[in-house]
């Protein structure tokens, strides 16, 4: 699954267009490397997102095949920092 779609489905970032914009600004890292929106995500990857005043680091626990419910979205990742 693409990085931008994963961020939307897991609700780490609410909209896919916002995920694309943040990626284009170079603020998203996967396993320590700067990532584009089209990067393929797999289980075990560490996603870091740098906001203006804070940083979020999440570990990918599961990559769904389709969209998931709001209740199920939080089970797709684990916040590390």
pLDDT, one tens digit per residue, over 27-71 is 999 999 999 999 999 999 999 999 889 999 999 999 999 889 999
To the question of pTM greater than 0.85 for the whole model, the response is yes
Alpha carbon distances (Å) from 45 to 22, 52, 66, 69: 18, 23, 19, 22
Q: Output the pLDDT for position 67.
A: 86
Per-residue pLDDT, averaged over 7-14, amounts to 94
The DSSP letter of residue 12 is: S
Q: Residue 81: which pLDDT band, with cuts at 50, 70 and 90?
A: confident
Name the nearest CA neighbour of 81 among 59, 65, 51: 59
CA dist 5 to 52, 54, 64, Å? 22, 22, 10
Rounded Cα–Cα distance for residues 50 and 70 (Å): 24
């Amino acid at each position: 699954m693409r990085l931008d779609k994963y961020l939307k489905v897991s609700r780490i970032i609410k909209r896919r267009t916002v995920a694309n914009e943040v990626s284009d600004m170079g603020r998203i890292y996967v396993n320590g490397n700067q990532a584009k929106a089209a990067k393929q995500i797999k289980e075990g990857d560490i996603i870091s997102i740098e906001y203006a005043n804070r940083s979020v680091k999440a570990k990918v626990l599961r990559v769904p095949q389709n969209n998931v419910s709001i209740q199920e979205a939080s089970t797709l990742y684990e916040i590390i920092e």
